[in-house]
Structure 1
């Protein structure tokens, strides 16, 4: 038996398989040996992650970072969080025992992070003085809220940009401040004395 005949004989014994492929534009296809058919089209141009991101990352003694999923009552109670700082996306203010603050901030490189930090730092400090836990969140807990927490560590806790970034990254691995925020935070680290003027 030749090599070709041997391979063709093995092909007969292969198990039938279906493969699902999701394209960047959200279309899903089912591929089989004989055909490719469109299965489902989502209205999104990206793959949707349906898993909740509801575990806040502890950054320092009372400072937590997370996504908007962390604003659920059971999560706030579990982590004894009584202050919620919402960056760019407003959390529903439905629990009377929670102190809320909303700060408008777009996740764009040209957004002035200093203005947001000037609003956020006193709120975080208020929670610290009250010995209360504070959650800083945005939509995904990746760019805006992470940048606020890094900025807080630089300006109040006196960390360098690299150290502050690493502390936050080690606690919440998915953080990724946008490029404009990164540059502003690096600049803050070298010019903190001028920040509050």
Structure 2
């Protein structure tokens, strides 16, 4: 991520990502029973058991005083690098189908030794020598290289600016690959912290196996998008029922925004069930603050929990709930919250009805309208 006045390397990556995505023991908490409307009840996510509190009227959902809008905090990183968290979301991007299933979606080059590559590498990575040979040069034609949306390079570690004396000394093979690809007109990006940093956070996305061709890619597990690092995730109903995903991400709480998908692990996870419909009639006036409170209490727990928000596809209903949380508890305008969410989950697409209700929710939270419908539909 970059400060607003810096070139936005991640923006370029996400732009290319969107072009390539062409194919379309804790007790459970179940707060809602009805399918088409949200009942007047509220959930206490901090307690060790279900707690349902009657809501006497909708005024209770209104803040006592207007929130002061804030801007998202942007972390400065060296130009040419992207973070492990950004790579995680790129690998798990979905738009119709998982983008990683496309062999030309991302080219990952492991610029470490052959021995280190064989021990473990980022999933779908190739040994750099199979593409950029020290003596033979580039082994893939420029035409084929141009088919890739993203070209990612990594060494064992790496935090120094590209081209610096330290970077050249620490990872000469990576630097050579980077500049040779740049000379061919490519726009490669480097993994901040290298394989070591990525493997520390996401060991389940590292493997000793070569996974390159399309049939092999279709066997990969696609994970929910990481919205807040190590805290808040958004995905699909299928992902919410995959125990491997729940275990690897250390999920403790789930917001289930579907009418028909059951809570898969009610004996081990805490649930907030919001049986919402993705249509023009669905009223979110009570669901938005309830979901926001549930998420906030989970993240502020001792120990802190990790929350997965899901609907059927992880695009509309779940996005509306995530946006409401970011607005209320990060004090971001709807516009800033939507930009943040789309950078991390490219398939974010709340329907127009939900957008209009989120605009009204923004006015309720901040005391005035900060975003227009035209701005968020561009």
| TM-score, length-scaled by structure 1 | 0.67
Q: Secondary structure at the match of 1:114?
A: coil
Q: How many residues align?
A: 147
Give the match for residue 73 of structure 1.
243
Shift of 1:95: 5.5
Preserved contact between residue 142 and residue 177 of structure 1 (Cα < 8 Å) = yes
Preserved contact between residue 54 and residue 69 of structure 1 (Cα < 8 Å) = no
Shift of 1:82: 1.0
Preserved contact between residue 104 and residue 116 of structure 1 (Cα < 8 Å) = no
Give the match for residue 82 of structure 1.
252
Q: For 1:136-151, what aligned pairs fall within 5 Å after superposition?
A: 136-151=309-324
Preserved contact between residue 256 and residue 263 of structure 2 (Cα < 8 Å) = no
Give the match for residue 278 of structure 2.
107
* Mapped partners of 2:282, 2:221: distance in 1: 25
Give the match for residue 181 of structure 1.
354
| TM-score, length-scaled by structure 2 | 0.36
Q: For 1:112-131, what aligned pairs fall within 5 Å after superposition?
A: 112-130=283-301, 131=304
Shift of 1:105: 1.1
**Structure 2 CA distance for partners of 1:175 and 1:99, relative to 1, 3 Å:** same
Shift of 1:53: 7.8
**Structure 2 CA distance for partners of 1:123 and 1:167, relative to 1, 3 Å:** same
Preserved contact between residue 236 and residue 313 of structure 2 (Cα < 8 Å) = yes
* Mapped partners of 1:114, 1:53: distance in 2: 35
**Structure 2 CA distance for partners of 1:184 and 1:88, relative to 1, 3 Å:** same
Q: Secondary structure at the match of 1:59?
A: strand
1:58 corresponds to which of 218, 226, 242: 226
Moved over 6 A (4+): 50-53
Preserved contact between residue 291 and residue 321 of structure 2 (Cα < 8 Å) = yes
Preserved contact between residue 278 and residue 316 of structure 2 (Cα < 8 Å) = yes
Give the match for residue 268 of structure 2.
97
Preserved contact between residue 289 and residue 324 of structure 2 (Cα < 8 Å) = no
Extract unaligned runs of 5+ from structure 2.
1-95, 99-217, 368-378
Shift of 1:191: 2.6
Structure 1 vs Structure 2 CA RMSD: 2.2
Shift of 1:93: 3.3
1:168 corresponds to which of 338, 341, 363: 341
- Tell which structure's C-alpha radius of gyration is larger: 1
Q: Which has the higher strand share?
A: 1
Preserved contact between residue 85 and residue 137 of structure 1 (Cα < 8 Å) = yes
